[in-house]
Structure 1
Amino acid sequence: MKSSLTQRFIITLAALFLLGYVGVQIYVYLGSRYKTETAYLDSVRENAKVSGIVLRQEEVLTNENKEVIHVNNGITAYTVEDGTKVSKGMTVAEIYQSEQDAKTVYKIRELEEKRGRLEKAAQAAPDSFGYADMLNKEIFNEIGQITAQVHTGNLTELSDPASHLLELMNTKQITTGIRTDKFEGPIASLRAEESYFRAQIKTQPSSITAPKPGYFIRKTDGLEGYLNIDNLDELTPEDVTRLMNVNLWTDPTVAGKLMTSHNWYYITTVSSDDTRFRKGRSVTLDFGVSEPVSAVIVEVNKNKEQEQSVIVFRSNYINPDVVTLRSTQADVSFNSVSGLRVSTEALRFKGLERGVYTVLGDHMVFRPVNILYEGSGFVLVENVIDEQRYENSLKLFDEVITEGWQLYDGKQIK
């Protein structure tokens, strides 16, 4: 009797254990049918390093007879920097017969600039305290800019802000009544110095002027006049290679050249399989000589029989460093794309519409998506903020189903 009760107890325990084990397995099985991840904001920026050549619409400086201007004698002093926008007839350089004359004229111009700043400050009206407050703000702002420039270690561009700061401080002295003589003494002294140095000039310099409007560049290299913007779509990889292998040579006797259009072009070759280079796409080019510049891809010359395609970038950013570039490397940064990041495996189709299934309470909901970027194992989709589309769209922090079977809209999960 006791043995029978023991047997029943053991059998009951075994049955309960088996039932519990099966229940746990069913729970684990049902609970693991779906794997999820959280949708979050992310952004990507792709980069590519290329080698290419910069081409511009350029013309060497010529005289009225369309003859190239050469400087064979004397000392050339340029009055404008590379990349300066000039008008027709504007002086870009002066030729001196002696180094002393060049130094003397430079000194005269320094004195004229100082006098001009004092004369401008002297025109301020006294007792304009409202104006004085504005001057204080400008002075502190200028000091801040100068300090920031010093911290960068680049002191070559401090001349203009320092001169402007001095002008502001002089103006404040007149406005607040600290000075009542309107700098008459210093101005007269500067005029006297100018007259003295003018008398020291033995030969007046001759001027070189721009024959037409454009951007001035001091040095030539032999590729002037090559670019024809009408045949950019005909350039081949062989053309690019040949241009990059040209032996550039600067003729020291040529006075300079003009870039006659505000647009310039960077031309390179890439693999024809690289789909990132698409016509019309905006990019950033970093040549390592100044801040990166914005550009747009205007031509993609593909040939089915060639492994390389010609890519033509266009930019209108002008500065002294960029206008002197020729054969050079560049880091191409494609504009960053931002959106909600989800795994590629989460993408599903509901009819012809692509989207993902998300967990909403105890059931799943289909959310259509607009893919902005496809990466390795993930996609970035539009983060919808439009009120009319927001309700039915994928949202930040939604739980997205990445694994599961028999997924459909409204299906119960628990």
Structure 2
Amino acid sequence: MAETDKRRAFTTRIIWIVIGVFFLIMVISQMMIYFGTSVKTEVATLYMATESIGFKGVYVRDEKLVSYNANGIISYTHSDGSKVGKNAVIAQVYKNRSDIAVRQRISELESQRDVLTDAQALVGTDTSQLESFSNQITEKHSELLEDIYVKNYALASDLKSDILNLQSKREIVKGSISSYDTKLAEIDSEIARLRSQIATEPYDISIPETGYFISRVDGFEERLNTTTVFDLTEKDIEEIITAEEIQENPHGVIGKLVSDYTWYMAAVLDTIKLGTVFEGAQVTLRIGSSNQNVRADIVKLKRLDDGRSIAVFKCDMFLADFIDTRVTQAKLLLEDYSGIMIPNSALRMSDEDGSIGVYVQDGIVASFRKVRQILSREEYTLVEDTSEEKGYLSLYDNIIVEGRDLHEGKIIG
């Protein structure tokens, strides 16, 4: 009987302990719900940032208008930005559009003939080049797809011709085709037939010197050059930037010739943002939306009374993509920074010493971590990586970016 009472008492004690633990858990849970706060966190990761000044710049080059004296329809023989030699034919003037279409077809056939003639020269050679041809075709095909994707159709057309050339050579070396004689005869016959359809031979327009040809003009060619760029005022620069684009070349002007690959860029910049940048310094510019970086020299830096400065940059790097551009978006890259990027909404002031920092999630509580700022922007602040310092923010900490009434040791849900 006594033994039974002992067992009953032990069982009762266990039950009360379980009930007590359960009650304690319930109390803690309710306290966490009552005192805790739902928060949103972001992991602290390393970030690279570049301090820069964005601006609109005016390209200035030594440019000469190219004139012609003929009536008819113009067909250009070179794409914009092409380097042309002395006395090179840059365009032809036709009496009608049908002659242009026929001439273009003849040009296509002549290109095909050149490809097949080049391939036929390999008749009888060994097959050691087959693998090389196949690899080149695969490589060119990948480049072709990439150019089509980015809508660079001019390069895509050239690559298409390259692929045809390689395929023709591979077929000859492989022995699949013994000769292109029949095809070449057909092409010659078609060229002769088309030439007979041209009413009048075109009038050739040539240039007297070497340079980079551009078919479009904007009206500033005779006003802007590598000498007058140093005399431009802020009003001059703003006028050029806001000028309406000329839709057609003036009568008698077929384009312009850029004599050298050296170019200048004039711009009006915020003096305060320039900081310690000085005349004579070599800087990095990021041109247009292509994010192409170039090195340039600041050859003029004139500070104005209204808090702005006129800057003139000089660069010797040829930029084919911008050869026909007068005004472009650009950035002056000042300095590269590395650190932890924090949303400004996460920055807090310590209740203890007033230092700036953030709260991080440390288990189930909020804990304050100090930060050292590198630079601040409208939406974020870049701070140093202080992983090795006690009490400071570390990489991979869970930064609380959203939360109410945060304080050291607060329980967060």
Q: Does 1:301 align with 2:301?
A: yes
Verify the 8 A CA contact 1:221 1:248 in the aligned structure 2.
Answer: yes
| Distance apart, 1:228 and its partner CA | 3.8
| Compared CA separation, residues 160 and 80, structure 1 to 2 (3 A) | same
Deviation at 1:317, TM superposition (A): 3.2
Structure 1 residue runs without a partner (length 5+): 1-39, 62-67, 343-372, 381-395, 404-414
Q: Does 1:187 find its partner at 2:184?
A: yes
Q: Secondary structure, in 3 states, of the residue corresponding to 1:158?
A: helix
After superposition, give the CA deviation of every residue in 1:199-247 in whole Å (9 maximum; x if it has no partner): 2222111111122111101122221132342454444323323444556
**Is the 8 Å Cα contact of residues 140 and 159 (structure 2) preserved in structure 1?**
yes
Whole-angstrom CA distance in 2 between matches of 1:90 and 1:131:
37
CA deviations on 1:140-185 (whole Å, 9 max, x unpaired) are 111222233344455554221111111111101111222222x111
Q: How does 1:387-402 map to 2 (within 5 A)?
A: 399-400=388-389
The 1:275/1:48 distance shift into structure 2, 3 A limit, reads closer
Residue in 2 that maps onto 1:18: none
1:59-70 equivalences under 5 Å are 59-61=64-66, 68-70=67-69
Matched, 1:202 2:228: no
Amino acid in structure 1 at the alignment position of 2:94: Y
TM-score by length of 2: 0.66
TM-score for both structures, normalised by structure 1: 0.66
Matched, 1:317 2:318: yes
Q: Distance in 1 between matches of 2:103 and 2:126?
A: 38
Alignment of 1:327-366 (within 5 A): 327-328=327-328, 330-332=329-331, 334=333, 337=336
Q: SS in structure 1 opposite 2:194?
A: helix
Cα deviations across residues 46-74 of structure 1 (Å, max 9, x unaligned)?
3433233222210011xxxxxx4244x11
Q: Superposition pairs for residues 66-145 of structure 1, below 5 Å? A: 68-71=67-70, 73-145=71-143
2:123–2:178: 8 Å Cα contact kept in structure 1? no
Q: Conserved in 2, the CA contact under 8 Å of 1:285 and 1:295?
A: no
Alignment RMSD (CA, Å): 3.2
Q: 1:283 aligns with which of 278, 282, 285?
A: 285
SS of aligned partner of 1:93: strand
Gaps of 5+ in 2: 1-44, 342-372, 393-413
Distance 1:141 1:242, change over 3 A: closer
Q: Give the total of aligned pairs.
A: 309
AA in 2 matched with 1:220: V
User: Quick one: which amino acid aligns to residue 388 of structure 2?
Assistant: E
State the Cα distance separating 1:137 from its structure 2 match.
0.8
* Residue 213 (structure 1) aligned to one of 182, 190, 210: 210
Name the amino acid aligned to 1:260. S
Per the alignment, do residues 142 and 248 of structure 1 end up closer, same or farther by CA in structure 2, a change over 3 Å counting? closer
What residue identity is the alignment partner of 1:267? A
Which residue does 2:63 correspond to in 1? Answer: 58
The answer to whether the Cα contact below 8 Å between 2:82 and 2:213 also exists between their aligned partners in 1 is yes
SS in 2 for 1:261: coil
Q: Classify the secondary structure of the residue corresponding to 1:45.
A: strand
1:240 matched to which residue of 2? Answer: 237
Q: 1:86 to 1:273 in 2, by over 3 A?
A: same
Q: Secondary structure at the match of 1:324?
A: coil
Per the TM alignment, residue 81 of structure 1 is displaced from its structure 2 partner at its CA by 0.8
Equivalent pair of 2:68/2:253 in contact (CA under 8 Å) = yes
